[in-house]
């Protein structure tokens, strides 16, 4: 249950990442048209993934613990996506 919830959270974050305006411009032409056409349904499906992940954890562990568990899952996933997307370079002095 926990692994499935983590997987749904990761899928939701990835869908939101791919449907962002910056990533749409970086995509190939065929993918670009698909992402532009279905931007709203992709975002809705990402939030459905989040809701299913939260509800699975809440059903298993209770409302408070389930939501906090999902929040703890979502934070590192977001941090990993931010680090992998941005090209971070050290400042040269």
The reply to whether 24 falls in a domain is yes
pLDDT score for 59: 92
The reply to whether 79 falls in a domain is yes
Residue 49: closest CA among 75, 84, 74: 74
The reply to whether 41 falls in a domain is yes
Q: What is the pLDDT of residues 48-70, one digit of tens each?
A: 999 999 999 899 888 888 888 88
The reply to whether 73 falls in a domain is yes
The reply to whether 46 falls in a domain is yes
The reply to whether 92 falls in a domain is no
Residue 74: closest CA among 62, 66, 64: 66
Structural domain containing residue 35: 2-83
The reply to whether 74 falls in a domain is yes
Mean pLDDT of 7-31: 83
Confidence of residue 41 (pLDDT cuts 50, 70, 90): very high
Domain count, the chain: 1
Distances (CA, A) of 62 to 1, 50, 53: 13, 16, 13
The reply to whether 71 falls in a domain is yes
């Amino acid at each position: 249950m926990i692994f499935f919830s983590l997987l749904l959270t990761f899928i939701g974050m990835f869908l939101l990442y791919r449907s962002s305006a910056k990533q749409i411009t970086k995509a190939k032409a065929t993918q670009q048209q698909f992402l532009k056409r279905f931007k709203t349904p992709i975002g809705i499906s990402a939030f459905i993934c989040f809701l299913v992940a939260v509800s699975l954890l809440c059903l298993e562990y209770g409302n408070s613990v389930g939501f906090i568990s999902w929040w703890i899952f979502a934070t590192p996933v977001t941090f990993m996506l931010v680090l992998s997307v941005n090209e971070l370079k050290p400042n040269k002095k």
